[in-house]
Amino acid sequence: MRHASGISESDLLARLARFQIETPSWGYADTGTRFGKFLQDAAATTVEEKLADAAEVHRHTGCCPSVAVHVLWDFPAPANEADVRRVARLAESVGLRIGSINPNVFQDACYKWGSLTNRDPVIRRRALEHVLDSIRVGQSVGSKCLSLWFADGTNYPGQGDIRQRKRWMSEGLAAVHGRLPADWTMLVEYKPFEPAFYHTDLADWGMAYVLAKDAGSRARVLVDTGHHLPGCNIEHIVAFLIDENMLGGFHFNDRKYADDDLTMGSIDPYQLFRIFHEIVSVEQDRGGVAAGAKADLPIAYMIDQSHNLKPKIEAMIQTVMTAQEMFTKALLVDREALRAAQSREDLVASENCLKDAFATDVRDLLREHRRAHHLPPDPLAAFRASGYAARAAAERGPRKTAAASSYA
Ligand code: PSV
Ligand code: MN
């Protein structure tokens, strides 16, 4: 069968089958806001539990085979080789692999005034050593992706020498890249504010682009969809970075106001569709879905969400299903009609090419894809029916209560 867009159903299903998305270990753990933390009985507390939960998401969706890890949150500090390998084995035992490695140079008190941009060379060195250690951890667990985010910045005008800090950040990133294994990618993430409220050293895609480019040929920009000021045209950034061969990956989540960490597509699914449209357009130019994996852009699709109130695994499955839906809709854009409408400056028809695809109900197609891969046609319903959450709550909840009362 052929869709209005001209894409054949088998091409579409084949591309969909290659669409994978990485879930974050921290998305399964209890989290909160600075105003409080509401514990969930079923939320994971150990790395074993986080991996078991991530495996549930993969088992029901079939498209989340890897898990991003945060070094200090998932490995004992300092991590020895045996601990690290144990985590890799655990992942393997539940049918997963460890994906991106996220160093943590924002939590320790020594980073109060910055990490790679700290005035004190001892702290800059310490941050660098932690990132290099993280690469070693990554090598032991079979990762190929170093994902960097820095909280570095200042809170008041005059607090720091912005140009000097830029040079320190640049030196640090180049030093990290110098030690990056040949087959690795290094992703540089930006964020306009929080925790710094006056200036952030890597505040936007342009800064991340320049510093990644200076760092070396395997550094790319990571776009966290929650890290933009209101009204920002994220798909424009995505298109621009792809054209510069500088888009390395995504941290997907949705937001209404700031870095809200809401589940993807809960606020603006059309934005996510437009992002995928930019990606799929380039893949079409590279030969289209018919060209197979050769045409796929090497983009690490990752989720970065901390679910405060929703049950963690359900929120993750809901996110994954939304991602698949929006990606499929983007595959349905009639690109020939779009190009023709664009060349006539027919704005209404051009826009409708996008809106028609966005309005198409692709849920049957997705059910078909899942059936073909022996997956439950409705992963969320299947997870709910499995009883996993209730079992996890029964097992983990009392342990949490006991731990909480022993601190009281
Ligand atoms: C920072 O807000 C961030 O987006 C970075 O990716 C961190 O690794 C992650 O969140 C931690 O939750
Ligand atoms: Mn992020």
Tell whether omega for the bond before 181 is within 30 degrees of 0, i.e. cis. Answer: no
Q: Check pLDDT > 70 for residue 405.
A: yes
Q: Check pLDDT > 80 for residue 61.
A: yes
Distance between CA atoms of 280 and 299, rounded to whole angstroms?
12
What per-residue confidence (pLDDT) applies to 288? 79
What per-residue confidence (pLDDT) applies to 403? 79
Which residue in 238, 268, 281, 381 sits closest to 321, CA to CA? 381
407 confidence band (pLDDT: 50, 70, 90): low
Does residue 78 sit within a domain?
Answer: yes
Domain enclosing residue 26, as ranges:
10-333+376-406
Q: Mean of the pLDDT values across residues 48-63? A: 98
Residue 120 CA to ligand 1 centre (angstroms): 24
7 confidence band (pLDDT: 50, 70, 90): confident
Does residue 106 sit within a domain?
Answer: yes
Does residue 352 sit within a domain?
Answer: no
Does residue 350 sit within a domain?
Answer: no
Residue 189 CA to ligand 2 centre (angstroms): 7
What per-residue confidence (pLDDT) applies to 200? 98
226 confidence band (pLDDT: 50, 70, 90): very high
Distance of CA 219 to the CA centre of its chain: 16
For a mutational test of ligand 1's pocket, the pick from 100, 304, 307, 312, i.e. the residue with the most ligand atoms closer than 8 A to its C-beta, is 304
Does residue 348 sit within a domain?
Answer: no
Ligand with the closest atom to the CA of 149? 1
Residue 371 CA to ligand 2 centre (angstroms): 32
187 confidence band (pLDDT: 50, 70, 90): very high
What per-residue confidence (pLDDT) applies to 270? 98
What per-residue confidence (pLDDT) applies to 5? 78
Residue 139 CA to ligand 1 centre (angstroms): 22
More confident residue, 404 or 29: 29
Does residue 370 sit within a domain?
Answer: no
48 confidence band (pLDDT: 50, 70, 90): very high
Q: Mean of the pLDDT values across residues 212-231? A: 98
With contact defined as beta carbons under 8 Å apart, do 130 and 174 qualify?
A: no
Pocket of ligand 1 (CB under 6 A): 26, 102, 149, 189, 191, 224, 251, 259, 304, 306
Distance between CA atoms of 207 and 191, rounded to whole angstroms?
10
Q: Check pLDDT > 90 for residue 327.
A: yes
Ligand with the closest atom to the CA of 151? 1
Ligand with the closest atom to the CA of 71? 1
Q: Check pLDDT > 70 for residue 408.
A: no
| CATH code for the domain of 202 | 3.20.20.150
What per-residue confidence (pLDDT) applies to 102? 98
Does residue 358 sit within a domain?
Answer: no
Average pLDDT of the chain to the nearest whole number: 96
How many structural domains does the chain have?
A: 1
Residue 305 CA to ligand 1 centre (angstroms): 9
Residues 145-173 as b/e (b if ≥16 CB within 10 A, e otherwise) read bbbbbbbbbbeeeeebeeeebbebbbbbb
Does residue 95 sit within a domain?
Answer: yes
Q: Tens digits of per-residue pLDDT, 110-161?
A: 999 999 999 999 999 999 999 999 999 999 999 999 999 999 999 999 999 9
